[in-house]
Amino acid sequence: MKSLRLVAPLLLLPTTLLAEPIDRESALKLPDTLISANRQVEDRTQTSAANTVFTRADIDRLQPSSITDLLTRVPGVQVSRTGGRGSLPGIFIRGTKSAQSLVLVDGVRIANTSSGDSGLQFLNIDQIERVEVLRGSRSAIYGSDAIGGVIQIFTRRASTPGLQPRLHLAGGSNKTWQRDVGLSGGDERTRFNLAAGLDETAGINATRESFPANGDHDAYRNKSLSLNLSHVASDSLELGLNWLDSHGRSEYDNLFGDQSQPYTDFNVSSVGTYADAQFTEMWHSRLELGHSENRDTKRDSLQPGGSEFNTYRDSLNWQNDLSLDEHNNLLLGGDWYQDRLHGSTPLDEDSRWNRAAFVQHRYKDDSFSTEVGVRRDQNQQFGSQNSWSASLGLPLNADNDLLLSYSEGFRAPTFNDLYYPDFGNPDLKPERSKSYELQWRSQLAETTRLEASLYRTDLRNAISLGPNYIPHNVGSARINGFEASLHQAWFGWQSNLGLSLIDPRDRDSGHTLERRARRTLSLDLDRQFDRLGLGASWQAVSSSYADADNKRSLSGYGLLGLRSSWNLSREIRLELKADNLLDKAYSRAQYNYGAGYADYREEGRTWLLGVTWTPAL
């Protein structure tokens, strides 16, 4: 790659300062570190990206049913599901749609290249160590798809040396059963985690009984496996492997009247290997090789055959972090990935590659900090794409910081957008964005932390479906927003409050973008009383529009959840939670069933009782 050859000589800069080796595995356990913003371990308060981090301890405390349930707690993130467990979600980060945000598992892209959906709803929450959410474009680091932000999931890691087995069993509403088993351990040099899970539920009837076949509940079954292995080969070299596989069946309804019982056989998997090296005192390098698959087969219990859309991605990333002196850091890297599509519906094109080089300089002293980055992507179909980012940090005093930033982003259209027979548009252009942001980060008191952002995102060439369901580039869209998170500890209680106000508009029509609520609020309260843990959650979402013309509306709603845990001993923990305690009827999306439009149903009041056993060996 020409771009990589241009930046390669910078890797030969002389060593001047001592740089401590980065223990990435240990950082995954810490709430105040961040990896996704610049692909390197850093203090989360020092990065330019607005971010939210959930550790394994947070997941155990909050007891979410899925990753999408966890994301509803992030200010600026909305999740719009089309039914119960396993149903297709829309994930809107700062008003952008699902395909405009990048999803990674241990550094590997997992999005379906035919539709742009990531399959997050299929990942087993018990096998997750950490979730990091970046709000705002990071295309200067990651390239395509990172317009709205980045979601990175890290698979579960070993906690301490020695063997640590664990068994989790749970049962609850709608014939829900969860069975998870794992074994982790190792020594000072080698660590591993192996886990397997089976998650199944009878589900709910997500649509109205417009047709006889739609009267059944839509069941969901998920089998999952994961493996994480790391080995410190020497004081300066670590090698590792991460593997995650989820496969199963998700039922849904036929909305067009045929006698049928449709379902999807799904498989989402990723595997990545890495070499992490400290070549010199100031040069840290990481090489990652990845492969992901997103396979989707639509079948019908009443009819033979099926249709397939299977996508595959191979990737290679090389990143170098240079500590030039106590104030200056240089990040240099290159990316390559290739997408391939195999399906029962032939497309005019079924593969493409993308290669890129990026460089970022960071400066920090007591009076201010700066970050300037640029990335150049060379896409097989769309040629060269440049993405820039810049930020300026101003510490007002020891407890308050202001951060000004600008970033650009782009997204290449999916294969379905371009080539699906009778519904594709090969003349589509990549989507582009420009974002401006002002952040205020304040340690208001010893136990009070406030983070607030005021931002604007301008989109052009945004891809939208036309009247004949053929995608086209619309003129532009504008998203203005404010979001804030407040962490407060008082009288032994831990509270986390998230608030988002947003105005997302199509600039040509003036209409509000569909399925985006203007106001969202989430609140979590938790306290540990010796062996007893108690918690409550409240989520409030304002009304939104179900269509681009703003003619059909979705009502706002509020959801209350309660949870508790009881440590019977050092080895046994009981958990009980109730979601949507007030049994609120609500919807986040609508569907067209031929005779009109109706709301997708969401789950009503549900409960789940579980036990976790971690025997000491």
3-class secondary-structure state, position 64: coil
Q: What's residue 458's pLDDT?
A: 95
Query: How many residues in the chain?
Result: 617
3-state secondary structure labels for all residues of 282-299: CEEEEEEEEEEEEEEEEE
Reported as a single tens digit per residue, the pLDDT across 542-599 is 999 998 889 999 999 999 999 999 999 999 999 999 999 999 999 998 887 767 788 8
Q: Residue 358 in contact with residue 142, Cβ under 8 Å?
A: no
Its domain, for residue 454, covers: 2-613
Q: Residue 105 in contact with residue 244, Cβ under 8 Å?
A: yes
Residue 71 above 50 pLDDT?
yes
Specify the number of domains making up the chain: 1
Mean pLDDT of 516-534: 96
Q: What's residue 17's pLDDT?
A: 32
How sure is the predictor about 301, in pLDDT bands with cuts at 50, 70 and 90? Answer: confident
Q: What is the pTM of this model?
A: 0.93
Reported as a single tens digit per residue, the pLDDT across 32-52 is 999 999 999 999 988 999 999
Percentage of the chain lying above the pLDDT 90 cut:
73
Q: Residue 602 in contact with residue 579, Cβ under 8 Å?
A: no
Distance from C-alpha of 65 to C-alpha of 88, rounded to nearest angstrom? 15
Distance from C-alpha of 239 to C-alpha of 233, rounded to nearest angstrom? 7
Residue 235 above 80 pLDDT?
yes
Question: DSSP state, 96?
Answer: B
Q: Residue 179 in contact with residue 189, Cβ under 8 Å?
A: no
Cα angle vertex 458, ends 457, 459, to 5°? Answer: 115
Residue 11 above 80 pLDDT?
no
Residue 1 above 80 pLDDT?
no
CB atoms closer than 10 angstroms to residue 491: 5
| C-alpha closest to that of 2 among 314, 338, 337, 377 | 377
Residue at token pair 């670590």: 238
Reported as a single tens digit per residue, the pLDDT across 124-140 is 999 999 999 999 999 99
| C-alpha closest to that of 117 among 415, 462, 356, 539 | 415
Tokens of 35: 């990896």
Reported as a single tens digit per residue, the pLDDT across 372-409 is 999 999 999 898 999 999 999 999 999 999 999 999 99
Average pLDDT, the chain: 90
Mean pLDDT of 155-172: 92
Distance from C-alpha of 486 to C-alpha of 524, rounded to nearest angstrom? 11
β-sheet bridge partners, residue 459 = 433, 477
Q: Residue 214 in contact with residue 181, Cβ under 8 Å?
A: no
| C-alpha closest to that of 80 among 552, 589, 538, 547 | 589
Distance from C-alpha of 520 to C-alpha of 539, rounded to nearest angstrom? 8
Q: What's residue 311's pLDDT?
A: 93
Q: Residue 557 in contact with residue 541, Cβ under 8 Å?
A: yes
Distance from C-alpha of 579 to C-alpha of 140, rounded to nearest angstrom? 39
Cα angle vertex 63, ends 61, 65, to 5°? Answer: 160
Distance from C-alpha of 279 to C-alpha of 281, rounded to nearest angstrom? 7
Residue at token pair 């749609």: 97
Q: Residue 211 in contact with residue 217, Cβ under 8 Å?
A: no
Distance from C-alpha of 121 to C-alpha of 284, rounded to nearest angstrom? 35
Tokens of 588: 């986040």
Q: For the chain, how long is the longest CA-to-CA vector?
A: 74
Specify the CATH number for the domain of residue 176. Answer: 2.40.170.20
Q: What's residue 518's pLDDT?
A: 96
How sure is the predictor about 258, in pLDDT bands with cuts at 50, 70 and 90? Answer: low
Distance from C-alpha of 492 to C-alpha of 67, rounded to nearest angstrom? 27
